A = this chain, B = another copy of it.
């Protein structure tokens, strides 16, 4: 069994970080997601999956974009999956990947800069 997704932890997370200080627990959960995205290959995989027709892609759709071995691609997909950013579902020969749009949406909302640029 793969490690379970930290979706529950993300349920409580978060107001925009510019609105109120993140708690220690929130910061730990968020940092895991940002760590999963702190790699150019994983970001491109995430983007290829999210932007693929139907919001779903199999490994067979992904490998051609990279000059990397299959096991290396699989390793990066595993990191993305364990972070909770994507899910994988085996159907027949292939595993099909999909992003968790609600996790992306929460990350996007956390980073909204708010109204902090100019002092009142």
- Interface residue ranges, A against B (CB under 8 Å): 17-22, 24, 27-28, 30-31, 34-35, 37-44, 46-48, 50-56, 65, 99, 101-102, 104-105, 107-114, 116-120
Given contacts A65-B21, A116-B99, contact A27 B40 (CB under 8 A): yes
- Which of B19, B65, B104 interacts with A51 by CB under 8 Å? B19
Residues in chain B near residue A54, CB distance under 8 A: 116, 119-120
Residues in chain B near residue A24, CB distance under 8 A: 40, 44
A35 to B31, CA, bound (A): 9
12 A-B contacts, Cβ less than 8 Å apart? A17-B51, A22-B47, A27-B41, A27-B43, A27-B44, A30-B37, A34-B34, A35-B35, A54-B120, A56-B119, A101-B116, A102-B113
